[in-house]
Amino acid sequence: MKDEKLYRVMDANLNRAKEGLRVCEDICRFVYDQRQWTSGLKTIRHQLTESAAGIGIPNLVAARHVEGDVGRKTVNSELARWKVDDIFYANAQRVKESIRVLEEFAKLKDRHTAEDFKKLRYRMYALEKKIIAPG
């Protein structure tokens, strides 16, 4: 795979993960009023950026091709939200999926960075459970 294509995949997923984290973070901050959850999500978001630096943020941004993205269209399921909890859950899934893609593609460039992404994905699993679990 050409590096530009690899970086393009990683750029899209880094953006998707960080956007999803921000949505989850704002829900925990402004709706749930939970400082610890907010802080945990913020930490994951910042560490995600730090981990991506191991691949080279300029490489990722340079490979971005928004105009040629064949998957830009909104899917109807993305519009189906009935309550804030639905928004949180959908974005938490988006974060985990995107970090998994980052992890897999990072293996082609830097195994240490891939391992960092894996750790962040598992931290997200654990934090999501605390936030969503009843009680």
Mean pLDDT by 10 residues, the chain (135 residues): 90 96 98 98 97 89 77 67 92 98 96 97 98 81
**What is the pTM for the complete model shown?**
0.90
Amino acid at site 125: Y
Strand blocks (E) in 1-135:
none
Give the per-residue pLDDT at 130.
Answer: 96
Paired tokens of 29? 């901050």
DSSP letter, residue 82 = -
Phi, psi of 64 (to 5 degrees): -60, 135
Give the per-residue pLDDT at 111.
Answer: 95
Give the per-residue pLDDT at 75.
Answer: 64
Amino acid at site 36: Q
At 110 the three-state DSSP class reads: coil
Give the per-residue pLDDT at 78.
Answer: 63
